[in-house]
Structure formats: structure tokens, C-alpha cells
Amino acid sequence: MKVLIVEDEDAIAEPLEEGLVREGFDVSRVATGEGALEAPEPDIFLLDLRLPDVDGYTVCRRLRERCDTPIIMITAKGEEIDRVLGLDLGADDYLVKPFGFRELLARIRAVTRRVRSQPDDRRPLRVGDLEVDRRTRQVRVAGEEVALTPKEFDLLALLASDPGGVVTRHKLLDEVWDTHWYGPTKVIDVVVASLRKKLGDPEWIETVRGVGFRLRVAE
């Protein structure tokens, strides 16, 4: 597996690279955001947020505009708002420094398992006027395309895969973010609120109090 480390601090990047190489990974490293954007696409990005040229949030957003390659953010920023922003921009997981090397390996395995287990059935999902095309990652309401962030699309696609069925918060975290973070799940509410606004009708996504969410099915 090809891993690209995006980190400008040698004291962090060098032992991380050595450890991953010992574990059998094919590791490359860049020290800038532009370097990450120009590098050959790996199988997974390990992305620091504090870079000398372009911040990691911008790098994540620009990567997500062109690919679905897994991204694990590695940063000293551990506040909830930082995690929410990173995950909402399309990161698959978020690891706060300092962290254990074995934990990082577990996160890499979890993220890659999710990617490999994605279903091959990519036929568009249709619920009333809503169409979710998993192959092209496009969403339309009454024929009009709706621009979504990667996490907004993944959350909507999960709800649309079982219209009317309740999807729990834990399932959303596990399948959309694939994270081991068991703290507040406010990140889900942020994405759902944005989705409701973009879909043009807040009733598309119904809240099941204390459980999760479901996609409305017209009677």
C-alpha cells in the first residue's frame, strides 16, 4: 500500500516513515500542501494541518474535489470544532498528536477496510424527486443538480440506501467517517443541517429523537 505523509516537521515525519516502512508500506513524504497536491496519488494520505504554505484543510478540500482517496488528518488541533471541520471537508479520520504508532496502524486498516468493502452496486438511488448517483457522486432534486461536500454525499447516500429506515448515529459515524472517536456526535448534526438546506426542504431528512435519522418516503 502506498502512503503519502504530508508533514513538514522532520522529528515527526522521519520516525513515522521508518515505522511504516518496517510494516511493509510503500512510503513517500512531502513537506508542503502544494507538494501533496502535485504528488502521484497514493492509496492513503496522512495529512498534517499546519503546513508552511497551504493549510491542511485547504489541501483536504482540494483533494476531495478530484479523488476519493482516504485521508487521515494528523494534527495537534484537538478541539471539537477542528475535528468537525476536518471531517466535514472530507477527511476519513482524525488523529490528534501525540498518538501511538499502533493506533495509527489501526486507523489505516479501518479506513482501508471501509474503502474495500464499498458495494459494487452503483445504480442511482431514487426516492421521489431525489436521485443519488453513487457512481458519479451526483445528487439531483427534481432534475436539478445539488452540489454537496463528500461527507454530505456519503451521509445522504447511506440514508437513501434504505428510504424510511432509521440509521443510528453510531452507524453514520462508523460508515461515513469510519472513526473510533466516541465523543460528541455534533458533527452529524452539522452535516444534516447543511444537507437539509441544500436539498431545499428540511423534511427530506427526519430526526428520530435519541436514535438517528431517516430519509422521508412520500406517502
pLDDT of residue 147: 93
> Mind listing the pLDDT tens digit for each residue in 137-184?
899 999 999 999 888 999 999 999 888 999 998 888 888 876 555 555
pLDDT of residue 94: 86
In which band, very low, low, confident or very high, does the pLDDT at 210 lie, cut at 50, 70 and 90? Answer: confident
* Residue 4 confidence (pLDDT) above 80: yes
Residues 12 and 108 in one domain: yes
pLDDT of residue 59: 94
Give the pTM: 0.60
Residues 75 and 176 in one domain: no
> Mind listing the pLDDT tens digit for each residue in 59-83?
998 998 888 889 999 888 767 777 7
CATH of residue 211: 1.10.10.10
CATH of residue 70: 3.40.50.2300
User: How many structural domains are present in the chain?
Assistant: 2
Domain that residue 153 falls in: 125-215
Of 116, 140, 159, the position where a domain reaches its end is 116
* Residue 84 confidence (pLDDT) above 60: yes
Mean pLDDT of 188-214: 93
Residues 108 and 136 in one domain: no
Residues 71 and 159 in one domain: no
> Mind listing the pLDDT tens digit for each residue in 106-126?
989 888 876 665 554 557 888
Residues 59 and 40 in one domain: yes
Mean pLDDT of 184-200: 88
Mean pLDDT of 189-211: 93
Residues 104 and 138 in one domain: no
Three-class secondary structure assignment of the chain: CEEEEECCCHHHHHHHHHHHHHCCCEEEEECCHHHHHHCCCCCEEEEECCCCCCCHHHHHHHHHCCCCCCEEEEECCCCHHHHHHHHHCCCCEEEECCCCHHHHHHHHHHHHHHHHCCCCCCCCEEECCEEEECCCCEEEECCEEECCCHHHHHHHHHHHCCCCCCEEHHHHHHHHHCCCCCCCCHHHHHHHHHHHHHHCCHHHEEEECCCEEEECCCC
* Residue 30 confidence (pLDDT) above 90: yes
